[in-house]
Structure 1
Amino acid sequence: MKYLGIMALAAAILGSSTTAQAANVQITAQNPVIELSISEQVDSRPDTATFNTGVETKAATATQALRDNSRKATMMIDKLKSLGIAEKDIQTTGINLNADYEYDRASKTNRFVGYRVSNQVQATVRDISNLGTILDALVSSGGATNLNGPYFSIDDDNTVKQLARERALANGKQQAENYAKASGYSGVRVLSIAEGISNSAPGPMPANRMMVAQEESVPVAPGQVGTSVNLNITYEMTR
């Protein structure tokens, strides 16, 4: 069990009237209230990985640079599809055209040499056991010039969320009852619950660690993804 912290045990005189608010609904409590902020995290093995890749080309003219880039980008996307990635899991995230300069040491100025075009794509792999092979094949024969990621996640995390939610509720009730009994009350009742959910995973693998020799498969360790449910719960102490 993990806690983000206890916000406050409301200062109130026994028998006084306290008001708790949730979703613009006024709920009047006849006894003191307890406000808790509780977090519960459930770790599980990811089943989905997302990475970003792309191609970059240079040419003397903008038109030629764009044409060369379009040809290579098409080859790269076709390669992704041939590696088993569905078309719906391939998305273009950016196409950039910029003037290209080189620094001239003699004149100490930037000299215009042409144009640079990049096409970036995001791809989602739903069978992460093949991720290393896909990354290796993409660089060695797919023409990709850069890689970023992977970012691991759970495709359907409803079951994990529900487990974290149940643990957080049980944890919150136990803590609230402890406060109530210490204050001379017998139990608690829930007045309001507000929820927040977050996911955490190991950071992306640096691109230079992915660019291994062509005859080797890229090692990938998916680890675990943490799904956290954060609850802000208000209880009323009961006799």
Structure 2
Amino acid sequence: MTAIFVRALPLAILAAAATPAMAAVEVTPSAGAPVVELSVTETVLGAPDTATFSTGVTSKAPTASAALRQNSADMDKVIKQIVALGIKREDIQTSGINLAMDYEYGTDGRQPRFIGYQVSNTVSVKVRQIDKLGAILDSVVSQGANNLSGPSFSIDDDSAAQREARDKAMKRAEAQAMDYARRVGFTGVQVLAVSEATYNASPFGGGEMKVMASRDMVAAAPPVEGGQVGTSVTVNVTYQMTR
């Protein structure tokens, strides 16, 4: 993706795109020469080496305290099973605990009837051996988990992919800037400002698995394919044309 702006001085401050990671460089321009601003994105695909999913337990009981006690006991079993599968504690994080009133909704037009409380406890889990993900999902369900969401895939250390994408983006930006310079009678370009944004995305879009399982459900290990994930770098570069 490329966005292009050509203008004369004065040079406005170049704002970076919203980023998880950003770098910026600026140089004072000379008077009189036109300026071209380019925004170029390059994406490098790679096989993921980590997967993240959410799992947890939803429990129901006539009172809030009973629902919480039941949920805590069931969730403790699920977390112990996750740890027993070889996942480190630092790769398990509680993402939400929710207590809500529970109602029964009839089909005859009557008002909903209060029947008790429900408690949900959810953890996010990072798996560093993707080939074991299906078996892990099966195992946590067999131990009482009745909520599953995910997985999302990523590359744990994508610094090499970032460098490759950055190099491609800068080369394409310079080639395009030179093309503009030659078209208006200049012979070279000088970088005045650079900013960068990096992000990760799946080329397959944002598909997500969500499962609500009954407590007595015993799942077959689901097949899991990691596919590829993209590491994208967007460089915003301002060039001044030179002779």
- Mapping of residues 15-164 of structure 1, within 5 Å: 18-19=10-11, 21=13, 27-30=28-31, 31-105=33-107, 108-139=110-141, 141-164=142-165
**Structure 1 residues 21, 111: closer, same or farther in 2, change over 3 A?**
closer
SS of equivalent to 2:42: strand
Contact 1:149 1:206 in 2 (8 A): yes
Contact 1:135 1:210 in 2 (8 A): no
The normalised TM-score by structure 2 is 0.87
For residues 215 and 113 of structure 1, the distance between their equivalents in structure 2, rounded to whole angstroms, comes to: 29
For residues 115 and 156 of structure 2, the distance between their equivalents in structure 1, rounded to whole angstroms, comes to: 45
**Structure 1 residues 204, 53: closer, same or farther in 2, change over 3 A?**
farther
In the TM superposition, what is the alpha-carbon distance from 1:118 to its structure 2 partner? 0.8
SS of equivalent to 2:48: coil
> How many residues matched?
229
SS of equivalent to 2:194: strand
Q: Gaps (5+ residues) in structure 2?
A: 15-23
| Structure with greater strand percent | 1
**Structure 1 residues 224, 24: closer, same or farther in 2, change over 3 A?**
closer
Contact 2:49 2:155 in 1 (8 A): yes
Q: Gaps (5+ residues) in structure 1?
A: none
CA root-mean-square deviation: 2.3
Counterpart of 1:216 in structure 2 is 220
SS of equivalent to 1:34: strand
Contact 2:64 2:116 in 1 (8 A): yes
For residues 161 and 25 of structure 2, the distance between their equivalents in structure 1, rounded to whole angstroms, comes to: 30
1:9 equivalenced with 2:16 (yes/no): no
In the TM superposition, what is the alpha-carbon distance from 1:42 to its structure 2 partner? 0.6
Contact 2:104 2:115 in 1 (8 A): yes
In the TM superposition, what is the alpha-carbon distance from 1:37 to its structure 2 partner? 0.9
In the TM superposition, what is the alpha-carbon distance from 1:237 to its structure 2 partner? 0.9
Describe the superposition over 1:142-195 as per-residue Cα deviations: whole angstroms up to 9, x where unpaired.
211010000111111111111100111111111111111111111111011011
For residues 107 and 193 of structure 1, the distance between their equivalents in structure 2, rounded to whole angstroms, comes to: 63
Equivalent AA in structure 1 for residue 6 of structure 2: L
Counterpart of 2:21 in structure 1 is none
- Mapping of residues 200-239 of structure 1, within 5 Å: 200-201=201-202, 202=204, 203-208=206-211, 214=218, 216-239=220-243
Equivalent AA in structure 2 for residue 207 of structure 1: K
The normalised TM-score by structure 1 is 0.88
For residues 58 and 208 of structure 1, the distance between their equivalents in structure 2, rounded to whole angstroms, comes to: 18
In the TM superposition, what is the alpha-carbon distance from 1:101 to its structure 2 partner? 1.1
For residues 210 and 35 of structure 1, the distance between their equivalents in structure 2, rounded to whole angstroms, comes to: 53
In the TM superposition, what is the alpha-carbon distance from 1:112 to its structure 2 partner? 1.4
In the TM superposition, what is the alpha-carbon distance from 1:216 to its structure 2 partner? 3.4
